[in-house]
Structure 1
Amino acid sequence: MATLTKTAVVARKVIRYGLYALFLIIVARYTLIVGGKLYRRFFPEPPPPPTGIAKLPAIPFPNVQIPNYEKLVFVLETPDGKLPNLPPQAKVYFLTKRTSNIKTLERANQKARSLGYDPNGKEITETSYQYQHPNLPCTLEMNIVTELFSMSCDLRDEKLSISNVVLTPDAAIKQVKAFLSRAQLLPADMSGPAVHEFIKMSEGKLVGAISLSESEMIKVNLYRKDLETIPSVASRSDQSNLWFILSPLNTYGNVVIAGEYHYFPLDETRFDTYALKTASEAWEDLKTGKGYIANLGQNNEGVLKIRRIYLAYYDPDVYTQYYQPVVVFEGDNNFVAYVPVITSLYYGSDQLTPTEEP
């Protein structure tokens, strides 16, 4: 009996101390995991050194002159009153350039047909062709090499009499995407935000409308998808490089009556990393006129209160070899500006010449 009792006591001790040991192992493991996460949060592992060594061309911003820029006063009024912490580096992607071949014109004619236009285009220049709509006073002008195009209609023509049934935003976005897909002109990376705007006619001009009920047309802007959470911006802060206006016509239903298509293929597998400026450096560049004002907004007094600052990729509407990041500054009264964020060391003195446009 004594032996059995002693065995039972030993067994209980083994179980008790085993449970203690298991508990300590669990606590130690949890502590190591949490401690490791906290350490990496406050002392992150430095990124690998930038891989980019090639000089970059200047970003092809539009040549917009702001009168008396030196008199503008920039005031930092972000929610915390501070500049953000930008990453030390970012990827710069390659934009590919289409080249001409023996089927270039045939391919362009097919795309014009798929968009609803007569494929027998008229040659304007060696690379630019004009196509007419078979039923409506509408014209499509396309660069047959780059496949960039613009389209417009004569709104004074009675065939374009407008009904009062405007598409909802979701329906309009769906129709524009279907319109481009028919001509195989909706690349996978154009899956970013789709932004709509209600439009109406006023004194013979297209102007913004407040609501669907007040509108006569609807405009759809398509943007590139985010790359590693970094969004895309265009030369106009209120308009993408792919935009189209849909109008409900009495005879023909909802028709695309205007639009522009400026898209250059992006190769996500080809990129280099480049060192970035700090937010403080970008802020100083903005104040000293080294950026591009995409929209001055209603800021006639010259005091610009900056509310939001973030990193984005600039999507060019003319060809350039690289898809580069910028710092976006947004302020009151629709003010928007972009500042190149790659360290100045990597910029050469030459800017690439834009491809001929339609």
Structure 2
Amino acid sequence: MSRIAGRIVHGLHARDTRISPEGRGTDLQLMRESNWLLVLNYVRTHGGLPRAEVARQTGLSRTTVGNIIDDLLTEGLVRESGSERAIPSGGRRVIPVHFNADVAHIVGIALGRHRLIMVVTDLGANIIGRVEVPFPAYEGPDVCLPLLAAAVRDFISSQGLPWNKVIGVGVGMPGIVKDGICLSPTIPGWVGTNVYERLCDLVGLPIYLDNNAKLGALGESRFGNARDVESMLYVRVGTGIGGGLVLDGQVYRGGAGSAGEIGHMVVDPHGPVCACGNNGCLETFAGKQAIVDLVRERKPEVADIVTVLQLAQAGDPICIAALQRAGASIGAIVSGLVNFISPVLIVVDGSTMRAGELVLAPIRAA
């Protein structure tokens, strides 16, 4: 199973596995891996199809599909239903092939500046368990990454799941991530750290690592509100402000891996100094701390964003105004992006969005 997991994660890093008439591999092993992932993903997303239909839809030969499905059956990733059914045209009866989501588990991790959120799912992305714990990211990777690896094992143990059934870990973290290396100073002390390699060594499982907003966009595109939408803009509003773009059904990262970093687009060039060194970035108007700081100018007893949200929902005008200003600032940036990329859908997510329409309404109005 670990061999299969490695192939899946390698495929995620290496290429788009959607059906594409233009894609023609030249390396035989690469072509085999691509075909293997193509069949697996087609069965996963469509399911309940006979081998011949999988071959017809993917454009692969029946022999190739048959060999791949035999391999997947051996690994337990698919199953053939016990009841046969007749094809509409009559003739030989066929056995549908189904994706076996229960055969293994995957851990998903949101690595934040102050919190660590972990979920464990089956292979169909159905959540089995979830935990949220404090995480001292500012103490640096040498301290935090071993803590993360230990937390993963403790979490799986607490869920009563066998470790050998966990086939991989997906990790989302703030800032620019390229080739597994943290490139932005979003979390001090992490710049230049090869988080991917360190986690592979510490956890001992295949790792898929990316920026948290890009993974949020990917999740919405595959399993959420943007499923089957070809182009979308994902905005994550929390401690920082992140963005993810899905264009033609795929996450767009840009040449430097920094596409979607809308938190550092400038709202007001004369605004507050941002951690990145610029003035007036969106994060200085709509990030959690910016909202809390604005409220504390008139209500110094307010300690955190949770209190701001509670007071706003109770009708406090100062907290409501601070959240509305954050929404208007996000809307100012998003409206420009809409004109530029014309997404079919915009998804706004993140802990601050518990405020609901207090933030959403000014975004829409922009």
Give the shorter-chain TM-score range.
Answer: under 0.3
When normalised by structure 1's length, the TM-score is 0.24
Larger % of strand: which? 1
Radius of gyration: which is bigger?
1
> Looking at both structures, which has the greater relative contact order when contacts are Cα pairs under 8 Å and sequence separation is at least 6?
1
